[in-house]
Amino acid sequence: MTEVLDTIGQRVTRLEGKDKASGRAQYTDDMTLPGMLYGAITGSPHAHARILSYDISAALEVPGVKAIITGDDYDWFRSGGHVKDETLLAKGKVRYIGEPVAAVAARTQKAAEEAARLIQVEYEELEAVLSIDDAMNPDLPIIHEEFSTYQMKVTDLEVSGNECWATSAEEGDIDAAWAECDAVVEETFETQAQHHLYLEPASALVDVDANGKVTIWGPNQGVHFIQTRVADYLGLPLTKVRAISPTVGGGFGGRAGPHVQPITAALALKTGKPVKITLSRAMDFETCRSRHPSRVRMKIGAKKDGTFVAQEAELLFDGGSFMDETPAVASFGLMMARGPYRIPNFRGSARAFYTNKLRAGSFRGFGNPQTTIARECLIDRLAQALDLSPMAVRQKNAMVAGDKWLGGQEVPACGFAQCLEEVKKAADLDKAQLPPPAPGKKRGFGFSGFAHISSFLASGASVQLREDGTITMNTGGIEIGQGASTILAQICAEALKLPIEDINITEPDTDTTPYNYKSVGSRTTYTTGRAVKAAAEDVADQIIEHAAAMLDCDPAQLTLISGGQVGVKADVTDSPLVNRTITFKEASLRAHYGVGGPIIGTHTFVFDGPPFDREGSKMKAVVFGNMGAYIYGVQGAAVDVDEVTGQVEVVKAWAAADVGRAINPTNIEGQIQGGFAQGMGYALFEEMVWDNGRLVNPTLMEYKVPGVKEVPKVQTIIVEDPEPGGPFGAKGVGEPAMVGVAPAIANAIDDAIGDRPNSLPMTPEKVLDVLDPS
């Protein structure tokens, strides 16, 4: 029995919902400052070229132009997520089409754009490296000649040429294990670049004070990370950079690093005035980041009864022109390759490469979708080879609490088996009830297991009791639409037994907000939430101390009562204290004006799960020391495949996720449904296409995302197997909500027509190809 709580588990409506519904919420481009200038960026026309010279004379003639910056204006300050390989503007060399080479600040948007067009740059073109195969070709030029001088966090990296990351892990005795298998399947899968397509294009507004301190607003997933990166780019101390989070129009990992903030900040510093840059949709597509394209070779072997014996995984990631989060994506993809299954013998490697395309970076799933498609499609193949049901094979091998993750960490809780069971039940019911497919179409059902993490690195929180007994809570959890603010406020409210209305949350601001790594990796609920809960409990303890002094009793006799009061515990019956209460307001007034000082609770921690067993699991160049609070789930899809056109329609979907404890079911369902839609676009049609280094579909007209007519009903099933250490047992769900979608759809296509493409997106052409290989 889970404990009944006041606020946790309730469908509390989104705290900023009214602001958003009424059009009042301020996104970055909605803001203007007095005297503000507008910025524009000149992009590289070449995928790979040396910069010979700049001519800005014509651009300077445009009326209203206030400043122009080029790579010549800056020293070699480099910035980066794991490896410092990017400069503010291209310096010496350009590495992808669209890469910013110069920027303008002017009094009007029009003038800025006109001047940006008039900036002349002389280039010497170099041969471009446009794919993983190109990157492995030693005859093609090196994209980052100074790679060996770049600062990075790991010491055991062994790469050469255009390879930028190489990581590996091994458990058991893989070479011997294959002989024990009754069936072995092996295939190679290719996946594409996907764009986040957050609906708010990249934008930044930067103000600057007389001391040269910049204040930055922009869509982001972590103010501290943006602050640090901008400081790196500009060679500034953190005291001179302040980042604030306005309303953010979607993230999905796309705002996990900076976009136009550094250039906007440079222009503000140069002009001494506020500057705003908002990218057009096309420039956002061309210059922000994408999901890593990949090629994954995988091999899995099992015994007759379906018991998994061995798995081998070889992952290749196309990282694009700069590393950004590539080291973490490669490491994480590798650590997720085995998924939530018991496979005693494992060998895996992940390599990543520089290419002359847009940087690939953080994107919902983070290397996990690329490996999950391979593993889950192969599980179905293995089941076919052994004449078993794919669902039964998953159930047979599902990990349970006490099993170890790849890397040797024991998982303390695991609701995966229950997720499998629930999705199976729901799908079986629907199988009988769905109307039959139209003539000429074939129906198929497919499933995928998945897992993800919800904690790593550090978070802090502060919770302050105000004079009237209400709370002001301050965290760096960024509300990107996933519901972070509401969930964190619910955690705080629950810990203090207050109504949600009594929690005021502040906007994340590096000047005042306790450190938070980022709102990424589904880590906010577990990680920031845990900091909030402990900070709120610190406040509760202090309130009880005051109440005890006021009632002249032992604090151990007291407890919080719902609604902002302290009373005696139920087991204290024979004392004059019974029925006496102290309100939070009374305690707070005593603290503010009498004894002790204002009540502020704080908590910070860095994820404290067990470290990876690097030696035992033969891990090399894995960027995580530890990670955890694993999330488990299952996705399923029913599809109708048109045998003439190859068109795939998803007619129904099911998705179960073990979230530990559901803090806000509405938010969880929203994540699962939205994640399904994004995963479906990835599965069937979304793809950024480059031709000779030029992105050919950088608009919403050409890059199609799922509309309301394509997305099926997604039946959501919330499984709660409390996570020890999670706030009230809770953990995240946002990222994995898309991870199993493509394999579920692929397996459903296979079930319908007897085969499926092994490359994403599974377009009608590719489906027709497998239908009729001639």
Partner 1 sequence: MSDTLTYDLNVNGEIETITAPAEETLLTVLRERLHLTGAKRGCDQGVCGTCTVLIDGEPVRGCLTIAALCEGVEITTIEGLATPEALDIVQQSFVDTGGIQCGFCSSGMILTVSSILKSNPEAGEAEIREGISGNICRCTGYEKIIDAAVLAAQQINGAAR
The residues that touch ligand FES, with contacts defined as CB under 6 A, are 199, 250, 481
Between CA 701 and CA 593 the distance in angstroms is: 62
Verify binding: residue 245, partner 1, rule CB under 8 A. Answer: no
* CB 477 within 8 Å of CB 663: no
Verify binding: residue 217, partner 1, rule CB under 8 A. Answer: no
User: Considering CB distances under 5 to 8 angstroms, the limit depending on partner class, which of partner 1, ligand FES, none binds residue 291?
Assistant: none
* CB 484 within 8 Å of CB 522: no
* CB 751 within 8 Å of CB 431: no
Q: Which of 59, 67, 97, 197 binds partner 1 (CB under 8 A)?
A: 197
User: Considering CB distances under 5 to 8 angstroms, the limit depending on partner class, which of ligand FES, partner 1, none binds residue 384?
Assistant: none
Coil, strand or helix at 133: helix
Coil, strand or helix at 109: helix
Verify binding: residue 250, partner 1, rule CB under 8 A. Answer: yes
Between CA 243 and CA 226 the distance in angstroms is: 7
Nearer Cβ to ligand FES (191/482): 482
Nearer Cβ to ligand FES (197/243): 197
Among 362, 328, 368, 384, residue whose Cα is nearest residue 449? 368
The minimum distance between CB 278 and partner 1, in angstroms, equals 8
Q: Which of 163, 200, 502, 687 binds partner 1 (CB under 8 A)?
A: 200
* Binding footprint of partner 1, residue count (CB under 8 A): 57
DSSP code for 525: I
Determine the residue with CB nearest ligand FES.
199
* Helix axes 416-433 and 390-397, enclosed angle (nearest 10): 160
User: Considering CB distances under 5 to 8 angstroms, the limit depending on partner class, which of ligand FES, partner 1, none binds residue 728?
Assistant: none
* CB 480 within 8 Å of CB 474: no
Q: Which of 16, 312, 318, 687 binds partner 1 (CB under 8 A)?
A: 16
The minimum distance between CB 666 and partner 1, in angstroms, equals 4
C-alpha dihedral, 759 to 697 to 41 to 221, nearest 10°: -50
Coil, strand or helix at 46: coil
Nearer Cβ to partner 1 (455/482): 482
Nearer Cβ to ligand FES (199/438): 199
Kindly identify the residues of this chain, within the stretch 259-288, that bind partner 1 according to CB under 8 A: 278, 280-281
Q: Which of 678, 697, 747, 758 binds partner 1 (CB under 8 A)?
A: 678
Nearer Cβ to partner 1 (628/734): 734
* CB 313 within 8 Å of CB 187: no
DSSP code for 533: H
Among 165, 161, 158, 128, residue whose Cα is nearest residue 142? 161
Nearer Cβ to ligand FES (219/319): 219
Verify binding: residue 23, partner 1, rule CB under 8 A. Answer: yes
Count the neighbouring beta carbons within 10 Å of the beta carbon of residue 574.
6
Coil, strand or helix at 226: helix
Residue in the structure block whose two tokens are 């379906």: 306
Nearer Cβ to ligand FES (45/250): 250
User: Considering CB distances under 5 to 8 angstroms, the limit depending on partner class, which of partner 1, ligand FES, none binds residue 318?
Assistant: none
Listed in sequence order, the residues at least 6 apart from 155 whose beta carbon sits closer than 8 Å to its beta carbon are none
Verify binding: residue 90, partner 1, rule CB under 8 A. Answer: no
The first and second tokens of residue 348, run together, are 């895996």
- DSSP E strands: which ranges in 643-696? 648-658, 690-691, 694-695
The minimum distance between CB 674 and ligand FES, in angstroms, equals 8
The minimum distance between CB 260 and partner 1, in angstroms, equals 15
User: How wide is the angle at C-alpha 631 spanned by C-alphas 686 and 757, nearest 5°?
Assistant: 30
Nearer Cβ to partner 1 (200/324): 200
User: Considering CB distances under 5 to 8 angstroms, the limit depending on partner class, which of ligand FES, partner 1, none binds residue 415?
Assistant: none
Nearer Cβ to ligand FES (161/250): 250
The first and second tokens of residue 278, run together, are 């908002």
Q: Which of 37, 493, 677, 767 binds partner 1 (CB under 8 A)?
A: 677
User: Considering CB distances under 5 to 8 angstroms, the limit depending on partner class, which of ligand FES, partner 1, none binds residue 26?
Assistant: partner 1
Kindly identify the residues of this chain, within the stretch 24-63, that bind partner 1 according to CB under 8 A: 24-27, 29-30, 32
Residue in the structure block whose two tokens are 């170890």: 404
The first and second tokens of residue 703, run together, are 């890059």
The minimum distance between CB 168 and ligand FES, in angstroms, equals 38
- 6 in the Ramachandran plot: left (φ > 0), alpha (ψ -120 to 50) or beta? alpha
User: Considering CB distances under 5 to 8 angstroms, the limit depending on partner class, which of ligand FES, partner 1, none binds residue 725?
Assistant: none
C-alpha dihedral, 228 to 229 to 235 to 241, nearest 10°: -50
Nearer Cβ to partner 1 (388/700): 700
Q: Which of 2, 3, 13, 156 binds partner 1 (CB under 8 A)?
A: 13
Binding region for partner 1 (CB under 8 A) out of 6-14, 141-149, 386-394, 762-770: 6-14
The first and second tokens of residue 3, run together, are 């404990």
User: What is the sign of the dihedral through the CA atoms of 726, 729, 734 and 738?
Assistant: positive
Nearer Cβ to partner 1 (251/601): 251
Residue in the structure block whose two tokens are 């499984």: 719
The minimum distance between CB 67 and partner 1, in angstroms, equals 22
For the beta sheet containing 183-191, the strands, ordered from the edge strand earlier in sequence to the opposite edge, are 163-171, 345-354, 308-320, 294-302, 183-191
* CB 349 within 8 Å of CB 718: no
Binding region for partner 1 (CB under 8 A) out of 354-362, 386-394, 480-488, 505-513: 480-488
Nearer Cβ to partner 1 (11/304): 11
- Contact residues for partner 1 (CB under 8 A)? 11, 13-14, 16-27, 29-30, 32, 196-201, 247-252, 278, 280-281, 480-483, 666-667, 669-670, 673-678, 699-701, 705, 707-709, 711, 713-714
